Amino acid sequence: TYEPGSVSKMFTTAIGIEEGIFDMDDHWLDETAEIQVDDREIQCATHPYGHGDQTTAEALVNSCNVAYVKMGLNIGADTLYNYFEALNLTYRSGLGISGESFPIFRPRSMMLRTDTATMAFGHTYSVTPLQMLIASNAVVNDGVLMQPQLIKTRLSSEGEVVYQAEPKMVRRVFSPSTSKQVREVLEEVPIMMQAENHGFSIGGKTGTTLKLSFDEEGEFEYGEKVINSFYAFGPIDDPQYSVLVLADTPRDDARFFSAIQAAMDILADTMRYHGISNDSISPDSEVIVPDVIGISYNAADFALANFEFEYTAVGLDSNEEQVVVDQFPKPGVTVMKGTKIIIKMGPKPDEDL
């Protein structure tokens, strides 16, 4: 498990809007990049001089800790806890994976004001990445929490479908209106981070977590090492795909961007593979993947070169008669020019069988 950090600010935003405690146009002042809560001084990690006056929407894009401390205290510990339970964050994912870790939360009855303040921006509790992905999806999925499923389809040895998973709704956590407002703001995050969206409408949220280590006395302390994360989803108007990427202890020169661009690339490739349209891409820059399954290596090489595809051949053996037995991306998929194709070689089938 890990402390999810600022990715969870999308939860706090949705909770406040859903409860009518604040809206996207309310203002939050961050003058000094720090705020005192009882005996603890909490700092804003993203802007050392303060973000100044900002709306809720701007605070979400800016990822301002000071603003979210104020939001969390306005919402209150009980309400935050109720929604975290509704998002299944206080329980295991329900996927039934052997050895899955339990989330770690301070008991509700022991919550301090400082716990409420830090919970609002993703600290004080620890969850698995899978839990974060499921809960984040609920925020952007019209507010509906879905049951996670590992297997979509199971086939028999004859290729017949023996099991087909169907979407299972757990509960509604937020209204469609709240979900839409959060989605629209999260579209601005990749733009602000100057991440390449490959022309797709993708939203996302950054997260940074300080890792715990041992001090000289053997006590836990927060060190300089971090976990960077980025949750991405798309398309904005009708989210169908999402990804959460964690970069554990990234290099200093890449710490803020390694997870961001990786998530954006994965999601864009996934959307492209599944045929999600991209109106901003010129038709001249797209090509349809040819079908090379069942033909020889030389024939596949000619076909792919004709469309200016680079490719990698897996399992190639010059000592046996082989054909292409599989390929990725699949035939007929529209991809960008220059996409690398993977072809899998195997023995030529016996035509007498």
pLDDT in tens, 133-158: 999 999 999 999 999 998 889 988 88
Q: Is the pLDDT of residue 218 over 70?
A: no
DSSP bridge partners of 213: 221
Evaluate whether the domain defined by 1-146+174-186 bears CATH number 3.20.20.70: no
Residue 220 reports pLDDT greater than 70: no
Q: What is the pLDDT of residues 13-56, one digit of tens each?
A: 999 999 999 999 999 999 999 999 999 999 887 777 889 999 99
Reported as a pLDDT band with limits 50, 70 and 90, residue 97 is: confident
Q: What count of other Cβ atoms lies within 10 Å of the Cβ of residue 132?
A: 26
User: pLDDT (tens digit, 9 = 90+) per residue, 323-346?
Assistant: 999 988 888 877 777 778 889 999
Mean of pLDDT values over 107-117: 95
Which is more confident, 129 or 287?
129
Region 283-347: CATH code: 3.30.10.20
Q: Which tokens in the block code for residue 189?
A: 């995050």
Q: Where in the chain is the domain with CATH 3.40.710.10?
A: 1-146+174-186
Give the per-residue pLDDT at 221: 61
Task: Looking at the chain, list the stretches that DSSP marks H as alpha helix, in order from N- to C-terminal side.
Answer: 9-18, 56-62, 65-75, 77-86, 113-119, 129-140, 176-186, 188-192, 258-273, 297-306
Cis peptide before 329 (omega within 30 of 0): yes
With a cut of 50, say whether residue 237 has pLDDT above it: yes
